[in-house]
Chains A and B, each alone.
Chain A
Amino acid sequence: MASAAIIETRQTVKRFGEIRAVDGVDLAVEKGEIFGLIGHNGAGKSTLFKMMLGLLSPTSGEIRIDGRPPAGEAFRQIRRSIGYLPENVAFYDHLTGLETLRFFADLKGADRNACLPLLDKVGLCHAARRRVHGYSKGMRQRLGFAQAMLGNPKILFLDEPTTGLDPEGIRDFYRILDAMRTQGTTVILTSHILAEIQERVDRLAIMKMGRIDALGTMQSLRERADIPLRLQIDLRGGDADTVRRLLRQAGATEVNGGDGMISARCARQRKMEALRALASLPAVVDIQIREPTLEDVFLGYGQENAGGRMESAEKEGRL
């Protein structure tokens, strides 16, 4: 498996002073797959990307792109065969979209005549001769994507590619990505929104504080996660005590509430057991089952409310 990997990192570490931005990452991205890298801001995704591109050199460990170190002898060859869309990409305001693309095509040694078709592909044909100054955030992102596709790269590195895109833009983006995959392009992309990319990547890695927390297909992650459910039971009349007792018998924990409403945590394997027991009680008029998303589990949001979520994201961001 390792030999088929087009991107390979081995025990890669990047330290900025005291901070370990990337803390021992082992990854192998295979040829032709779409690979997602998920994590908070500050989890180390961009740093890992920059090391893969050879923009930063690892403090220790090894990185190979197509079997070669990205900053070594073959650096020009490797650079020509990859496309990179940086996070929050910025261009030159006074150039038009087409001029921007031609500038990067010249630098990359790619075909200048491919620029206009590329702009068309990302839906910017109408704005090709307008200055980037007047572009919206979404248009800039589309231009950045077109730039990454210059010279038919073998590998695409896309750092937060869908920020600033509207839903239509996001759909367009993944449609193009799928088309490129069928041509054999390998894509590695980052996001901090799991829900958006989960059905669109072949495999994904979840990054947390510089480490890979989980790695695999969406299905395998789901199975591994073993997420506890949350039950909420509406009662009309009847006695709450019986309900509580039945819940505890079915292995539920954190059983709270009294008349009218009871909530509890329940393991997935014993869900049906609990439901069957509750169903026999006439006082139970409704049962709501809340399933935490994978995002909640892997990104550590847990059961917190939205406010707490922001806070914890911020905290990790600063780390």
Chain B
Amino acid sequence: MRIGFRQIGVIAAKEFWDRIRNRWVFAVAAVFTAFALAIAYFGAAQQGGIGFKGIDVTIASLVSLVIYLVPLIALILGFDAIVGERERGSLDLLLSMPMTRLELLLGKFAGLSAALAFSTLAGFGLVGLLLSYQLDLGGLYHYFEFTLSAILMGMAFLSIAILISVAAADRARAGGLAIAVWFFFVLVYDLVLLGMLVGSGGRIGSGIFPILLLLNPADVFRIFNIFGMAEVKTLYGLATVFPPTLAEPWLLGSVMVLWIGVPLAVATWRFK
């Protein structure tokens, strides 16, 4: 059966405009702008100075902020996409339309992704514009790469959120599950890996460790942004545990795309 792009578009447009109307997009954009500004100008205050200290340090600080914020925002954005319709009582009606379940899922995902991407671009874009007169082209490119990768990471967690919204029995459970997923990938995962590394005296370092890092979209995002920067790479100690061959942008990009595609595919399979 051919995919109905019109139906996907209708669902996506509704999701996107819903987020514009309830000011979600503007609220998130404002939060990103505020944080990015604060980090860009006051990020070095601990080291005894204020003012812009260069793009690499700024991005490094932004990465550690965004890695908490974006997954949380994406999970909250998407966790009730399907279960919310089910609980409201509008799912049956939607499913009685000339639209497949796959199209409904893709429409939801596309619309929510657009809302997330729009607010991320607007928030960080505004700050990028303010920084642009202090940056060279390379710096701007870095900043752009950072914004793009933040969006991709957001989409990966959004994809997981959609899967949660399909699998969960009710909205409350979906919410709990979303918070648990955030907790696991953003807070627990790295700690466990670190514990393994230290506990084994570094023996598992070379082989399996980098692979384990790729199994977390948040870590993929971190590696993508930090590895390219000589100044901060050593600071994070990444060079010692992560081989440069695996840090190729195209490879990290592909892993992220997988992180977007696989949960959605599982969600489609579960949603019958």
Contact = CB atoms under 8 A, between A and B. Distances in A.
B7 A107 contact: yes
A55 B10 CA distance: 20
B10 A89 contact: no
A73 B21 CA distance: 38
B97 to A, nearest CB: 4
Which interface residue of A84, A86, A88, A107 has the most chain B CB atoms within 10 A? Answer: A107
Nearest to A88: B89
A147 B22 CA distance: 25
Given A73-B1, A80-B98, A107-B98, A92 B90 contact: yes
Interface string B89-111: 11011111111100000000000
Contact of A86 (B18, B22, B92, B99): B92
Contacts of B6: 106, 109
Contact of B98 (A55, A91, A94, A109): A109
Nearest to A151: B98
A248 interface: no
Interface in B58-97: 88-90, 92-97
A89 B93 contact: yes
Interface string A9-49: 00000000000000000000000000000000000000000
A192 interface: no
Nearest to A106: B10
Contacts of B203: none
B96 A76 contact: no
Contacts of A94: 18, 21-22
Contact of B89 (A50, A76, A86, A104): A86
From DSSP, what is the main secondary structure of chain B's interface residues? helix
Nearest to B6: A109
B14 interface: yes
Given A90-B89, A147-B93, A107 B1 contact: no
Contacts of A109: 6, 98
A86 B98 contact: no
Interface string A87-123: 0111110100000000110111100000000000000
Contact of A75 (B21, B89, B93, B98): B98
A96 to B, nearest CB: 11
Interface residues of B, number: 22
B96 A79 contact: yes
A91 B93 CA distance: 9
Given A79-B96, A86-B93, A109-B6, A103 B18 contact: no
A119 B7 CA distance: 23
Contacts of B7: 107
A82 B97 CA distance: 9
A89 B18 CA distance: 20
A86 B1 contact: no
Contacts of A73: 1
Contacts of B22: 94
A92 to B, nearest CB: 7
Interface string B8-37: 001100100010011000000000000000
Given A94-B22, A103-B14, A107-B7, A79 B98 contact: yes
Nearest to A53: B96
Contacts of B90: 89-92
B4 interface: yes
Contacts of B89: 86, 88-90
A178 B90 CA distance: 27
Interface string B135-153: 0000000000000000000
B10 A103 contact: yes
A55 B95 contact: yes
B21 A84 contact: no
A303 B241 CA distance: 81
A55 B98 CA distance: 11
B229 to A, nearest CB: 44
A166 to B, nearest CB: 22
A43 to B, nearest CB: 18
Contacts of B14: 103
Contact of A55 (B1, B4, B18, B96): B96
Given A79-B96, A104-B93, 10 more contacts: A75-B1, A79-B98, A84-B92, A90-B88, A90-B89, A92-B90, A94-B18, A103-B14, A106-B6, A109-B98
Interface of A: 50, 53, 55, 73, 75-77, 79-80, 82, 84, 86, 88-92, 94, 103-104, 106-109, 147
Among all A-B residue pairs, the 7 with the closest Cβ atoms = A90-B89, A79-B98, A84-B96, A76-B98, A107-B97, A106-B10, A86-B92
26 contacts: A55-B95, A55-B96, A75-B1, A75-B98, A75-B100, A76-B4, A76-B98, A77-B98, A82-B96, A84-B92, A84-B96, A86-B89, A86-B92, A86-B93, A89-B89, A90-B89, A90-B90, A91-B90, A92-B90, A94-B18, A94-B22, A104-B97, A106-B10, A107-B97, A107-B99, A109-B6
